[in-house]
Amino acid sequence: QAADNPYERGPAPSTSSIEASRGPYATSQTSVSSLSVRGFGGGTIYYPTSTSDGTFGAVAISPGFTAYQSSIAWLGPRLASQGFVVFTIDTNTTADQPASRGDQLLAALDYLTGSSSVRSRIDSSRLGVMGHSMGGGGTLEAAKDRPSLQAAIPLTGWNTDKTWPEVKTPTLVIGADGDTVAPVATHSEPFYTSLPSSLDKAYLELRGATHFTPNSSNTTIAKYSISWLKRFIDNDTRYEQFLCPLPSAGLTIAEYRGNCPHTS
Ligand code: 9J3
Ligand code: ZN
């Protein structure tokens, strides 16, 4: 790792390395029973198998309304193999609303860093949150409630609260151009616009995508999520090249907005 950044992990990235189905780290996984935790519904922890690179940042990910961790499971090994501890969770009930999902993401992070079997592998100062739909709404709630979080990524997020000026966490809002459940015009776009203009923030609108695009492997979601998590959880400026200058619209991106250069 570079002497000037103690948090940098893994080799120098390239477009192909962030688009690959797996990153440089072999991963393991362990399941967490709902019976053994309070405040969320258990889940699966994916983590780099080796301990020789030191500790890693960590990310908790919530599914959406009526859904289980299986709906976001692809992100576990995809992100962990790039050098993160990733906790895909179940919620207490599949009907839990976004504010509750936000609390549950934070409870999952507290479990991960405080009592889980992988706690010694994690740098508890470098944490992030992600989620799909109401879990994306919960991602914004978690960031609002815990400004020490280093990165937040709502995926086709859904929330009745459209305004997020309180957020201090660098946030990448990912929407889908064909979403009829959480249309970008009434969800992701106002979420993005209402975040502070001084915040490191970005809006990625997927082209040819639906509300459920984040429920299976997607290279565009993966490459920009990896870049955002690396840039803001690990302070790894080697990934800035994929975020600034802003990516252009094209085959898989309908629109991309953001503020460059990044300030944190
Ligand atoms: O988590 C989601 O998919 C939220 C979208 C939804 O169905 O909200 C209706 C109450
Ligand atoms: Zn608000």
Atom of ligand 1 nearest to the CA of 136: 1
Tens-digit pLDDT profile for residues 65-123: 999 999 999 999 999 999 999 999 999 999 999 999 999 999 999 999 999 999 999 99
The pLDDT of 55-61, averaged and rounded, is: 98
CB 112 within 8 A of CB 142: no
| CA of residue 216 to ligand 1 center, whole Å | 17
Alpha-carbon distance of 205 to 221, in angstroms, equals 10
**Of all helices (H) and strands (E), which one includes residue 105?**
helix 98-114
Which pLDDT does position 240 carry in this prediction? 97
The pLDDT of 140-163, averaged and rounded, is: 98
Which pLDDT does position 1 carry in this prediction? 55
| CA of residue 86 to ligand 1 center, whole Å | 24
Which pLDDT does position 2 carry in this prediction? 58
Indicate the pTM of the whole model: 0.98
The answer, yes or no, to whether residue 4 has pLDDT greater than 90, is no
Alpha-carbon distance of 215 to 180, in angstroms, equals 15
Q: Establish whether residue 155 lines the binding site of ligand 1, counting it when its CB lies within 6 angstroms of any ligand atom.
A: no
253 has which bridge partners? Answer: 206
First to last CA, the chain: 20
Look at residue 250 and give its three-state secondary structure: coil
Atom of ligand 1 nearest to the CA of 65: 1
Atom of ligand 1 nearest to the CA of 64: 1
Tens-digit pLDDT profile for residues 176-217: 999 999 999 999 999 999 999 999 999 999 999 999 999 999
Which pLDDT does position 79 carry in this prediction? 98
Q: Which of 79, 75, 69 is nearest to 18 (CA)?
A: 79
Question: Does 245 sit behind a cis peptide bond, omega within 30 degrees of 0 on the bond before it?
Answer: yes
| CA of residue 159 to ligand 1 center, whole Å | 8
Transcribe 187-242 into DSSP letters.
Answer: THHHHHHHS-TTS-EEEEEETT--TTGGGS--HHHHHHHHHHHHHHHS--GGGGGG
CB 144 within 8 A of CB 167: yes
CB 121 within 8 A of CB 85: yes
Of the listed ligands, the closest to the CA of 182 is 1
| CA of residue 191 to ligand 2 center, whole Å | 9
Look at residue 80 and give its three-state secondary structure: helix
Gyration radius from the chain CA atoms: 16
Atom of ligand 1 nearest to the CA of 135: 1
Mutate to test the pocket of ligand 1, among 158, 184, 211 (most ligand atoms within 8 A of CB): 158
CB 170 within 8 A of CB 194: no
Burial class (CB in 10 A: 0-12, 13-18, 19+), 148: exposed
Alpha-carbon distance of 13 to 86, in angstroms, equals 20
Which pLDDT does position 55 carry in this prediction? 98
Mutate to test the pocket of ligand 1, among 62, 65, 101 (most ligand atoms within 8 A of CB): 65
Q: 42 — alpha (psi -120 to 50), left (phi > 0) or beta? A: left
Q: Establish whether residue 176 lines the binding site of ligand 1, counting it when its CB lies within 6 angstroms of any ligand atom.
A: no
CB 31 within 8 A of CB 81: no
| CA of residue 145 to ligand 2 center, whole Å | 12
Q: Establish whether residue 65 lines the binding site of ligand 1, counting it when its CB lies within 6 angstroms of any ligand atom.
A: yes
CB 86 within 8 A of CB 79: yes
Please give the ipTM for the structure prediction.
Answer: 0.88
In this structure, the number of other CB atoms found within 10 A of the CB of residue 81 comes to: 23
The pLDDT of 20-37, averaged and rounded, is: 98
The answer, yes or no, to whether residue 3 has pLDDT greater than 80, is no
Q: Average pLDDT, whole number, for the chain?
A: 97
Q: Which of 120, 116, 2 is nearest to 54 (CA)?
A: 120
